[in-house]
Structure 1
Amino acid sequence: MTMVPDTEHAEDAALTRAAQSGDVTALGLLLERHRPGMRAVALSLLGPGPDVDDVMQDAALVALRRIGDVRDPAAVGAWLRMVVRNGSRSVLRVAGRTEPLADVPLPPTSATPEGVLDAHAMRDWIWEAVEDLSPALRLPVVLRYFSTGMTSYQQIAEACGTPVGTVRSRLHQARASLAKALEATASGAHEDVRHRTEQSWLDVRDTLAAAERGEYDKVVADRYTPGVTLLSAGRRIGGSALLVAGMEGDLSAGVRQRPANVIAGRSLVVWEMDLVNPPDAPDHCPPGVAWVMTLEGGRIGRVSLHHTPRPAPSAG
């Protein structure tokens, strides 16, 4: 066994314990460290699209609320991926995403939202972040994430005197704001994450440029392991030869890939791409694809492709 996994587990354990003691920056760093794996789980279940961002934002707030529940600090990565998996399954299971946090246990019913917040190790940061929200966003997010019995959309709608659709919209905005604030706590404190992400943007652009020149096979030989595995829908469909043939086939058909988002971890990289079809074949490919790549010794050992579902045909 190499020392890298042990080192990463030790770092995870230290950050988790710090977060459980009220260090919000430590929680922000944990979310940054495990973002690629968390996003990969969401993409594997939901496919590329806005649901992935919603689930990721939800997971950040669940982590904020429940980091104290983690019993094995060294295994916090698996816990975070479980949170994302539960959220993703709820999206798939419940029409309209009426209960995306159904799997999250509630605190004791004797508590109040204010009591829950005041007892929280990160109460000062949470209160400050909540107070920074507009009044219209503040009440829904407190009820949804910190109340003991007012967590359903219908109950929140009644408390706010607004339609359920408005509650969903406001919670979406509040989640995005609070998740962004959590991410900001890690800004400047984790330069290796920023560097890896910047380098990965360069890599994806270089890869696409090389493919346009007919040199994708050289990229595969240089950056991928000799036994690289290509997967689709979780099943192995080939290796380096199919990777090259697939890229060259799409380019020959006039399909182009445009990078839309990059997430880069030590052992996992996610490239989310928009697919641009030729004018004479607008339905040749789905609208997007995510490359989920596992690294082995700094080279890509597995590539799992997840395509954005095609939009449903209009009724008209």
Structure 2
Amino acid sequence: MSAIPKGPDPAQDAALTLAAQSGDVSALALLLKQHAPGMRAVALSVLGPGPDVDDVMQEAALVALRRIVDVRDPQAVGPWLHMVVRNCCRTLLRASRRVETMTAVPLPASGATPEQVLQSHALRDWVWEAVEALSPTLRLPLVLRYFSTEVTSYQQIAEACAVPVSTVRSRLHQARGALAQALTATADSAHDDVARRTEASWQEARETLAAAERGEFGKVVKDRYSPEVALLAGGRRIGGAGLMLAGMDGDLAAGVRQRPLHVVAGRSLVVWEMELVNPPDDPDHCPPGVAWIMSLNAGRFDRVSLYHAARLQKAPAEA
């Protein structure tokens, strides 16, 4: 009788998990490879055979990459990976029923966002180097999906990118596959300091809004934006620098203020998520928030796409 093959060794799992949490790229890759059969079995048990299984496996790998630091018992990383797959399956099933999705894995008790978790360990710079290797078409939906906080559902990404939801799903599928290849290709490369770049972008967002309130937004646009900058809404060009200045001045004159809530900063793509604070006498002047989705070319912003958060629906008044 042939011996029954054993599953991954808990002691080896623990060693690989600890190494991955310290930023060892090869350890994480080996961990995912060893547990891939079990993870796929979970996906098949929930979804059945079909292309969605491959999507879930890719999604689970990205979640594991972001959240490996959350594993408290390194020897139990196998059940944790199975949980990740199961949650990704449930998210996919909810999305197919046109229900807004939540984060695939519950956030830790500290309330840290996925972006903050990513910033907290050594893998972050490697991940961003791989993200930068993607084409702009694939990079934007992937960054919104995994690193923004307010533009994460398929429907929201579709609106921000001005494409159908089916196109978002297709591009995310391609992006996850391309990212896996890019991660392998950039594992031994020198990586930028993402934490430093993100902090600099936070500072720039604050300084931009402060300058606007001082009446100096025009100087900021001249210094940091391309002379041919395109302002977009719904994927359509609606103007350039002149409209940006007029829009900012109009909001400020109406008493609207912006407050940075979240920043995603890549070399070629930056997202500033802002809260819009309306004046007390006109609380519905603007939607509750806006995302500035900006592409960089030669160190200057050359495209600014504005995505406004949906207004909360008011309950109908009683008769």
Q: Please tell me whether residue 172 in structure 1 is matched to residue 106 in structure 2.
A: yes
1:13-24 correspondence to structure 2 within 5 Å:
none
**Aligned residue in 2 for 1:46:** none
The letter of the residue matching 1:145 is V
**Aligned residue in 2 for 1:265:** 266
Instruction: Tell me, in whole angstroms, the C-alpha distance in 1 between the residues paired with 2:197 and 2:206.
Output: 14
Bigger RCO of structures 1 and 2 (CA < 8 A, at least 6 apart): 1
Q: Please tell me whether residue 185 in structure 1 is matched to residue 185 in structure 2.
A: no
Q: Please tell me whether residue 277 in structure 1 is matched to residue 278 in structure 2.
A: yes
Shift of 1:187: 6.8
Partners of 1:65 and 1:145 within 8 A in 2:
no
SS in 2 for 1:200: helix
**Aligned residue in 1 for 2:254:** 253
**Aligned residue in 2 for 1:227:** 228
- RMSD over aligned CA atoms reads 4.8
Q: Deviations over 1:150-196 (max 9, x none)?
A: 9558xxxxxxxxxxxxxx89942479889566653327966621111
Instruction: Tell me, in whole angstroms, the C-alpha distance in 2 between the residues paired with 1:65 and 1:315.
Output: 50
Query: Structure 1 residues 151, 196: closer, same or farther in 2, change over 3 A?
Result: closer
**Aligned residue in 1 for 2:150:** none
Query: Structure 1 residues 274, 225: closer, same or farther in 2, change over 3 A?
Result: same
Query: Structure 1 residues 234, 139: closer, same or farther in 2, change over 3 A?
Result: same
Structure 1 unaligned regions, length at least 5? 1-18, 29-60, 70-97, 109-116, 154-167
Q: Please tell me whether residue 145 in structure 1 is matched to residue 94 in structure 2.
A: no
Seq. identity, %: 47
Partners of 1:141 and 1:174 within 8 A in 2:
no
Query: Structure 1 residues 129, 262: closer, same or farther in 2, change over 3 A?
Result: closer
Partners of 1:143 and 1:151 within 8 A in 2:
no
Instruction: Tell me, in whole angstroms, the C-alpha distance in 2 between the residues paired with 1:26 and 1:263.
Output: 24
Q: Please tell me whether residue 105 in structure 1 is matched to residue 54 in structure 2.
A: yes
Please, which moves more after superposition, 170-179 or 306-315?
170-179
Instruction: Tell me, in whole angstroms, the C-alpha distance in 1 between the residues paired with 2:113 and 2:241.
Output: 42
Shift of 1:267: 0.9
Query: Structure 1 residues 274, 106: closer, same or farther in 2, change over 3 A?
Result: closer
SS in 2 for 1:278: coil
Bigger fraction of residues in helix: 1
**Aligned residue in 2 for 1:199:** 200
Partners of 1:144 and 1:152 within 8 A in 2:
no
Instruction: Tell me, in whole angstroms, the C-alpha distance in 1 between the residues paired with 2:286 and 2:263.
Output: 21
Instruction: Tell me, in whole angstroms, the C-alpha distance in 2 between the residues paired with 1:220 and 1:169.
Output: 35
Q: Report how many residues are paired.
A: 199
Q: Deviations over 1:211-270 (max 9, x none)?
A: 111111111111100100000111100000000000000000000001111111111111
Partners of 1:261 and 1:271 within 8 A in 2:
yes
SS in 2 for 1:172: coil
Shift of 1:313: 1.3
Structure 2 unaligned regions, length at least 5? 1-15, 37-46, 92-101, 126-190
Give the alignment's TM-score, normalised by structure 1: 0.50
**Aligned residue in 2 for 1:159:** none
Give the alignment's TM-score, normalised by structure 2: 0.50
**Aligned residue in 1 for 2:164:** none
Please, which moves more after superposition, 211-220 or 184-193?
184-193
**Aligned residue in 1 for 2:128:** none
Partners of 1:140 and 1:170 within 8 A in 2:
no
Q: Deviations over 1:62-89 (max 9, x none)?
A: xx968x99xxxxxxxxxxxxxxxxxxxx
Instruction: Tell me, in whole angstroms, the C-alpha distance in 1 between the residues paired with 2:221 and 2:197.
Output: 19
Shift of 1:281: 0.5
Partners of 2:292 and 2:306 within 8 A in 1:
yes
